[in-house]
């Protein structure tokens, strides 16, 4: 039941592996995807195996299944799961680079840790400020519509007794901005690194209590790379944790989400305590921390940066790390304080259409809510719901002030369906309000 000897994050990936496998398993169980497909089944089994034995070969298998599963489920992938997939891509590429470096010799575990730790740090260092930068917009700073106010109300539902004062909206807005833009700075400076980790953990506790424990589980796993020492639960504890999670998931499926949430909070608490413990690494308690990612593992952080930049380039807004940010860049207008829509290189977001009615139930919410989507997104959605045979999908929409009544989308020359598989999976957009403030959405 004891903890194994602690090791530096650059020397041992086992603590990260255990926490990362738990985060993956948490997602699979929470979204009912544990056995949704052959890849999902493989991912779930790999996560269970890594929790018991977080060794480098199993970590590579987990990463491979994770990347394949995310690609399979695109575009129906949430922001945190997409970013987690990019972290696993980074892990897989780091494993290949480490394997090539040793080529059958010893030291694979250490080589993998040295190769993966720097880009893993960059994944987290980019995630926080990108999300915070998106929130520097007029609607996020408006307490009446701000996602910070919405999330605070979700937190009140999870933590009864929190005040419902009008001032809590502005406080939530300021707290969110300070954490997401300030924590990366604290993590980069050796003397403030522990403070940054503590604040980040408390932030993830808040997010978990507000109803988003999957994001918190992934976040604390990456925070391990900013700690000088991190012990790994002993084999008995790891096997016991897996046995409990499996038993509750099987015998009490209605309570498994609650169990995983409390387990996430428990891991946050353990990590918080370990962060406060004195270190032997030096006077300031912070070890040397490498931020020089090796090729090809740098691809993961680069893709995270590109995903976060996409709205300002005129590319996809879905999975752009703009979750709960109130950000709007569509239709030639931007609510961002610093980046106007005129900077967009690509024109996809400027051509908006409003669906008036359709025979497809998937398009009904757009017609009912009066929201608009880019023309390219309408083509993608129609491609997903248009069968190759049988009756076609009808749709009526407004584009550029002109009404179009389409009896069969599959046969319409202007829609020119289908779009490419690459388009379907990666070039996707959210629906937005045609006028007025940007409401809070994922």
Domain ranges (residues) in the chain: 14-303, 351-432
By C-alpha distance, which of 327, 333, 332, 379 is closest to 351? 332
Residues 57-92 as b/e (b if ≥16 CB within 10 A, e otherwise) read ebbbbbbbbbbbbbebbbbebbbbbbbbbbbbbbbb
**CA dihedral for 243, 244, 249, 252, sign (positive or negative):** positive
Which segments in the chain show pLDDT lower than 70? 1-11, 104, 279-288, 388-391
pLDDT at residue 424 in the model: 94
Distance (Å, whole) CA 232 – CA 247: 23
Residues 394-418 as b/e (b if ≥16 CB within 10 A, e otherwise) read ebbbeeeeeeeebeebbebeebebb
* Residue 51 burial (C-beta neighbours within 10 Å; 0-12, 13-18, 19+): buried
236-284 confidence digits (pLDDT tens): 989 998 999 888 888 888 888 889 999 999 999 999 999 988 765 544 4
Stated pTM of the model: 0.92
pLDDT at residue 214 in the model: 92
pLDDT at residue 391 in the model: 65
pLDDT at residue 36 in the model: 86
Query: How far, rounded to the nearest angstrom, does the alpha carbon of residue 277 sit from its chain's CA centroid?
Result: 29
């Amino acid at each position: 039941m004891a903890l194994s000897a602690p090791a530096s994050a650059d020397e041992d990936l086992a603590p990260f592996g255990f926490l990362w496998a738990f985060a993956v398993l948490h997602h699979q169980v929470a979204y009912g995807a544990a056995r949704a497909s052959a890849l999902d089944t493989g991912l779930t089994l790999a996560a269970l195996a890594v929790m018991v034995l977080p060794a480098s070969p199993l970590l590579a298998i987990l990463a491979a299944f994770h990347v394949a599963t995310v690609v399979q489920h695109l575009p129906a992938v949430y922001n945190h799961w997409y970013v987690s997939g990019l972290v696993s891509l980074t892990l897989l590429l780091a494993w290949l680079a480490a394997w090539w470096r040793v080529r059958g010799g010893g030291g694979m575990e250490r080589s993998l840790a040295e190769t993966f730790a720097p880009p893993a740090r960059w994944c987290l260092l980019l995630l926080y400020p990108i999300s915070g930068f998106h929130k520097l917009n007029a609607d996020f700073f408006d307490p009446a519509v701000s996602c910070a106010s919405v999330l605070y109300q979700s937190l009140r539902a999870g933590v009864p007794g929190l005040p419902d004062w009008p001032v809590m909206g502005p406080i939530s807005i300021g707290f969110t901005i300070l954490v997401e833009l300030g924590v990366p700075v604290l993590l980069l400076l050796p003397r403030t690194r522990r403070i940054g980790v503590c604040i980040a953990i408390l932030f993830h506790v808040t997010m978990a209590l507000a109803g988003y424990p999957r994001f918190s589980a992934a976040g604390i796993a990456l925070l391990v790379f900013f700690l000088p020492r991190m012990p790994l639960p002993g084999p008995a504890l790891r096997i016991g944790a897996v046995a409990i999670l499996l038993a509750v998931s099987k015998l009490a499926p209605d309570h498994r989400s609650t169990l995983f949430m409390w387990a996430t909070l428990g891991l946050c608490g353990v990590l918080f305590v370990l962060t406060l413990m004195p270190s032997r690494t030096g006077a300031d308690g912070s070890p040397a921390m490498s931020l020089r990612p090796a090729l090809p593992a740098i691809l993961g952080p680069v893709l995270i940066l590109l995903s976060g930049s996409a709205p300002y380039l005129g590319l996809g807004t879905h999975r752009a790390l703009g979750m709960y940010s109130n950000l709007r860049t569509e239709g030639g207008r931007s609510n961002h304080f610093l980046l106007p829509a005129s900077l967009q290189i690509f024109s996809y977001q400027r051509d908006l259409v409003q669906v008036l009615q359709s025979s497809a139930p998937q398009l009904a919410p757009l017609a009912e809510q009066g929201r608009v989507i880019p023309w390219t997104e309408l083509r993608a959605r129609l491609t997903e719901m248009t069968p190759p045979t049988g009756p076609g999908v009808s749709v009526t929409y407004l584009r550029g002030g002109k009404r179009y009544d389409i009896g069969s989308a599959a046969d319409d020359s202007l829609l020119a369906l289908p779009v490419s598989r690459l388009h379907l999976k990666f070039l996707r957009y959210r629906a937005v309000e045609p006028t007025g403030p940007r409401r809070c959405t994922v």
